[in-house]
Amino acid sequence: MRVAFYAPLKPPTHPVPSGDRRMARLLMAALARANHTVELASRFRSREGTGDPAHQQLLAETGQHLARRLAADYLRRPAFERPEAWFTYHLYYKAPDWLGPAVADALDIPYLVAEASHAGKRSNSPWARGHAATAVALARADAVINLNPADVAGVTSATSASAMVVMLKPFIDGADFAAAANRRDILRVGFAQRFGLDPAQPWLLTVAMMREGDKLASYRILGTALGLLGDIAWQLLIVGDGPARAEVEAALSGLGRNRIRYAGARLPDELPEFYAAADLLVWPAINEAYGMTLLEAQAAGLPVVAGASGGVPAIVAAERTGLLTPPGDTAAFADAVRILLGDPVRRSALGETAKEMIAQEHDVAAAAEVLDRTLRDAVNRRRRLG
* Residue-wise pLDDT tens digits, 309-342: 988 999 999 999 999 999 999 999 999 999 999 9
Spans of all domains in the chain: 2-171+363-385, 175-361
pLDDT surpassing 80 at residue 150: yes
pLDDT surpassing 90 at residue 212: yes
pLDDT at 120: 84
Phi/psi for 40 (5° steps) reads -75, 115
**pLDDT tens, position by position, 238-258:** 999 999 999 999 999 999 989
Same fold, 2-171+363-385 and 175-361: yes
pLDDT at 342: 97
**pLDDT tens, position by position, 222-236:** 999 999 999 999 999
**pLDDT tens, position by position, 6-32:** 999 999 999 988 889 999 999 999 999
**pLDDT tens, position by position, 343-373:** 999 999 999 999 999 999 999 999 999 999 9
pLDDT surpassing 70 at residue 379: yes
pLDDT at 81: 96
Helix (H, G, I), strand (E, B) or coil at 38: strand
7 Cβ contact partners less than 8 Å away, ≥ 6 residues apart: 20, 24, 88, 89, 90
Confidence band of 72 (pLDDT split at 50, 70, 90): very high
2-171+363-385 — its CATH code?
A: 3.40.50.2000
Taking all residues of the chain, what is their mean pLDDT, rounded to a whole number? 95
Question: Domain spanning 175-361: which CATH class is it, in words?
Answer: alpha beta
pLDDT at 273: 98
42 Cβ contact partners less than 8 Å away, ≥ 6 residues apart: 6, 11, 66, 70, 99
Beta strands at 235-239 and 203-207: parallel, antiparallel or unpaired? parallel
First to last CA, the chain: 18
Percentage with pLDDT > 70 across the chain: 100
Confidence band of 383 (pLDDT split at 50, 70, 90): confident
The model carries a pTM of: 0.89
Question: Contact at 8 Å (CB) between 289 and 305?
Answer: no
pLDDT surpassing 90 at residue 384: no
pLDDT surpassing 80 at residue 385: no
Confidence band of 135 (pLDDT split at 50, 70, 90): very high
**Rounded-to-integer distance, Cα 129 and Cα 123, Å:** 8
Once rounded to an integer, what is the mean pLDDT over residues 80-104?
A: 97
**Rounded-to-integer distance, Cα 289 and Cα 285, Å:** 9
The candidate with the shortest Cα–Cα distance to 70, out of 21, 105, 46, 28, is: 105
Name beta bridge partners: 236: 204, 260
pLDDT at 19: 85
Name beta bridge partners: 281: 205, 304
pLDDT at 386: 62
pLDDT at 142: 97
Once rounded to an integer, what is the mean pLDDT over residues 55-62?
A: 97
Taking phi first (over 0 means left), then psi (-120 to 50 degrees means alpha), and beta for anything else, what does residue 164 get? beta
Confidence band of 271 (pLDDT split at 50, 70, 90): very high
